[in-house]
């Protein structure tokens, strides 16, 4: 499949179901998060092969801080290991890393790792992988509107120009795994005319074949953007 086959440039995924995946197997939640990281690796590799210019993954929301301290610590540890272990692969596969959200409020060692990864992959062009960390769409909209106000009139164009995703293609398709059918404060502005795709698959079980199935369905949809 190429871009001409499905027409999508930018796909976002709410990666839901790690905890339930672990519970079904009588494993601790961290095992589900580890399996979820493996799914991320597989899907990111597939994104370029499927002709996607950009992919945005909801890794850690601003609401996730409400989770137990041990689970938050496990998630941060997994994220650091993912960045460290996959940076060479990003470079080899021409993947540019981008991080959206209030990620500079994270621990200094995490911020330093991210800064290094952003710098090392800045020149890559095949696919952009945007990871949403400490992200909430309502917070993003407040920040974008504030920036627009500081620059002049608050218009739709000014807000869009100040979104975290301003340098990415418009969002075409938003996927959510695990059977939940809500946006959970993710890319609310960007999703205004995006197609939505919900699957019962838990995130660790989501495969490149599932991504291709979502893109196949996207290709069959008639996007009218409010027109006839």
Q: Which of 49, 64, 93, 139 is an active site residue?
A: 64
Q: Is 16 a catalytic residue?
A: yes
b/e code 138-147 from CB counts within 10 Å (16+ = b): ebbeebbeee
SS3 string, 186-223, reads CCCCCCCCCEEEECCCCHHHCCHHHHHHHHHHHHHCCC
SS3 string, 146-170, reads HHHHHHCCCCHHHHHHCCCCCCCCC
CA 115 to each of CA 7, 56, 111, 168: distance values in angstroms, whole numbers, following the listed order: 32, 18, 6, 19
Q: Which of 16, 74, 172, 210 is an active site residue?
A: 16
Q: Residues with catalytic annotation?
A: 16, 64
């Amino acid at each position: 499949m190429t871009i001409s086959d499905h027409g999508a440039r930018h796909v976002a995924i709410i990666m839901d179901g790690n905890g339930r995946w672990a519970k079904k197997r009588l494993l601790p939640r961290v095992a589900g998060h580890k399996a979820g990281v493996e799914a991320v690796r597989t899907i990111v590799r597939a994104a370029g092969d499927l002709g996607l210019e950009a992919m945005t993954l909801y890794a850690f929301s601003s609401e996730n801080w409400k989770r137990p301290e041990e689970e938050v610590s496990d998630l941060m540890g997994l994220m650091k290991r993912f960045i460290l272990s996959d940076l060479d692969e990003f470079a080899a596969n021409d993947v540019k890393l981008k991080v959206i959200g209030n990620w500079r409020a994270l621990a200094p060692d995490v911020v330093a790792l991210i800064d290094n990864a952003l710098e090392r992959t800045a020149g890559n062009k095949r696919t952009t992988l945007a990871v949403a960390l400490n992200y909430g769409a309502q917070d993003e909209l407040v920040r974008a509107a504030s920036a627009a106000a500081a620059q002049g009139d608050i218009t739709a164009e000014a807000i869009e120009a100040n979104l975290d995703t301003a340098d990415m293609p418009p969002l075409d398709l938003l996927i959510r795994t695990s059977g939940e059918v809500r946006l959970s404060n993710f890319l609310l502005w960007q999703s205004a005319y995006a197609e939505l795709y919900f699957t019962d698959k838990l995130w660790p079980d989501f495969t490149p074949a599932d991504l291709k199935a979502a893109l196949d369905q996207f290709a069959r949809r008639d996007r009218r953007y409010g027109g006839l």
